[in-house]
Homo-oligomer: A and B are copies of this chain.
Amino acid sequence: MTDHTTGSVHTEIEQIIAALEHGKYKRVRKMLHQMHHAKIAGLLEVLDPEQRLAVWQQVDSGHEARILAHLNPALGRHLVSESGDHASHQEEEAESEESSAATQIREVRGALAQGKLKRVGKILRDMHPAKAAGLLESLPPKERVAAWGMVEADRAGKVLTYLHGESCAALALEMDHEDLVIAAERLDLDDLVDLIQALPDENGQQLMRATYGRRREKLESMLSYPEDSAGGLMNADQIVVRPDVRLATVLGYLRLIKSLPVQTDMLMVVDRKGIYQGVLRLSALVTAKPEFKVAEVMETELPVIAVTTSSDEVARLFQDHDLLSAPVVDENGLLLGRITVDDVVDLIRESSDRAMMHMAGLDEEADMFAPVLTSSRRRAVWLGINLVTAFLAAWVIGLFQTTLERVVALAVLMPIVASMGGIAGSQTLTLVIRGMALGQVGGSNARALLAKEIGIALLNGLLWAVVVALLAVAWFGDWQIGGVIGAAILINLLFAALAGLVVPMVLDRMGIDPALAGGVILTTVTDVIGFFAFLGLASIVL
């Protein structure tokens, strides 16, 4: 070796060691990829055992044999046995697709703990991108970054699209810019739009500037629509045909383009100006006689989605009409793109996730393993809001301190009244929130629903008033306390039913998500009314 080469190896060693220390496995792999096998073997011999194993983990399995040929045989055997990749081959086979998510998580965490990154890479490579994304989100941050390093750049884009907002942005930013651009190039436009929207503004812009020509144009137009509108959901990969051509011609054209975009169940029919005319289902195309014209077999009844339609409305249309895809048009009827059911499925899952998470004051895009400080800050807001309402309830109790001093049994029983009201109210609240989401609860039937809920509150209020009163009498041997708590429970359940219906409806009208704020306001109402009724009645009666 000349001095020059040796110098170069040293520099590369330094670079590789630095990359290893920062967990930038992708960079290590890329550097190894550009080196000659013999050079890698030399590098491995120079490194200390731990670094050697770490570098070996990044070697492509296809290149292993060639590198081993240049390597000190003892060292080679040692590496092969240490890395444990081949030894456990059979074991891996047994798991494969069938193994449950929990097993896979355990597997990956075990491999990470032992530094067997190749193993991690193999597991992730064998998984569907959606599963891989789920698995990555199940890992604590450091392990997640390490595992992410083992995802090939050409698959990384697809995996990113299955991640939730926060983890998606974090992992995308872990990648080298050029790798991210490569990953982005392989994405469908609608997935790319999601990715850009998940990233911080600056990085999103960078990614957009890396696209060219027609793709850039389409991308810019798609990004100009709000994320939660038909425009943000659509893809511009539709195949269009003219109404006046024969089906035989269409078939000829399709055989020419050789493959259709995924999730294509219909072609779009447009006129010369691109104005939407109807759709030609593939099922019509294959069943109708080839001499028919498109206009004769196309369907014109299909719901057409305006680009400004809200994503909730889009989801409802797909569900109601059992659509697989639908055309999106602008205000002039110009066909802009299509929405496919796979995106709608994600939308539906997300929107119900959102309702559930919002009810606990959580954000559905947040990373389960976000840094403790970030999560704490987010949740602190919710606890702070709750504290205000808790002090309100405490203040009500404070009004009756003298009564409490006289009869301490009241302090013991007090939480029961508040708790029963809270539970009853949250049942009504949940029913109404869900009904509103289905579009089944509104101003027009609110009164009928209120009558029903009040009826239920009355029956259950009477039932539990008697039960609690008897229990209280048995406990404290005081009939008056029993009467007071019974009355308070009945009152609280009635108000709980009223609040459970009115609170979400008012919030909805104010444009506030009832799932987010409804629960807090409801329990405030039931706490305040429960304590007020119970202690107020007690201070009069006792």
Contact surface of A with B, Cβ cutoff 8 Å: 100-103, 105-106, 109, 128, 130-131, 134, 137-140, 251, 254-255, 257-260, 262-265, 282-283, 285-289, 318-322, 324, 341-342, 344-346, 348-349, 352-353, 355-357, 359-362, 364, 368-369, 372-373, 375-376, 379-380, 382-384, 386-387, 389-391, 393-394, 397-398, 401, 404-405, 408-416, 418-420, 423-424, 426-427, 429-431, 433-435, 438-445, 448-449, 452, 455-456, 459-460, 463-464, 467-468, 471, 475, 523, 527, 531
Q: How far is the CB of A503 from chain B (nearest CB, A)?
A: 14
Which among B100, B384, B445 is the interface contact of A138 at CB below 8 angstroms?
Answer: B445
**B286 and A285 contact, CB distance less than 8 A:** yes
**B445 and A139 contact, CB distance less than 8 A:** yes
- Measured between beta carbons, the chain B residues less than 8 angstroms from A287 are 254-255, 257-260
Which among B103, B324, B434 is the interface contact of A324 at CB below 8 angstroms?
Answer: B324
Given contacts A353-B352, A430-B357, A471-B391, contact A460 B109 (CB under 8 A): no
**B341 and A324 contact, CB distance less than 8 A:** yes
Given contacts A321-B128, A394-B412, contact A452 B372 (CB under 8 A): yes
Given contacts A320-B131, A468-B387, contact A376 B460 (CB under 8 A): yes
Given contacts A349-B348, A468-B387, contact A134 B382 (CB under 8 A): no
- Measured between beta carbons, the chain B residues less than 8 angstroms from A394 are 412-413, 415-416
Given contacts A324-B341, A349-B352, A438-B134, contact A109 B386 (CB under 8 A): no
- What are 25 residue pairs bridging A and B, where the CB atoms are less than 8 Å apart in the complex? A102-B439, A103-B444, A105-B442, A128-B321, A138-B445, A139-B445, A139-B448, A140-B448, A255-B287, A282-B285, A286-B286, A319-B349, A352-B353, A352-B355, A352-B356, A356-B359, A376-B456, A379-B427, A390-B420, A391-B416, A397-B412, A401-B412, A411-B411, A419-B523, A419-B527
Number of copies: 2
Which among B322, B368, B383, B398 is the interface contact of A412 at CB below 8 angstroms?
Answer: B398
Among residues of B, the one whose C-beta sits closest to the C-beta of A476 is B398
Given contacts A264-B283, A362-B427, A380-B460, contact A393 B415 (CB under 8 A): yes
- Measured between beta carbons, the chain B residues less than 8 angstroms from A452 are 140, 369, 372, 375
**B464 and A387 contact, CB distance less than 8 A:** yes
Once the chains are docked, how many angstroms separate the CA of A419 from the CA of B410?
19
**A443 and B102 contact, CB distance less than 8 A:** yes
Which among B109, B265, B324, B397 is the interface contact of A415 at CB below 8 angstroms?
Answer: B397
Among residues of B, the one whose C-beta sits closest to the C-beta of A142 is B448
**B105 and A444 contact, CB distance less than 8 A:** yes
Residue with the highest number of chain B CB atoms closer than 10 Å, among A288, A415, A449, A471: A415
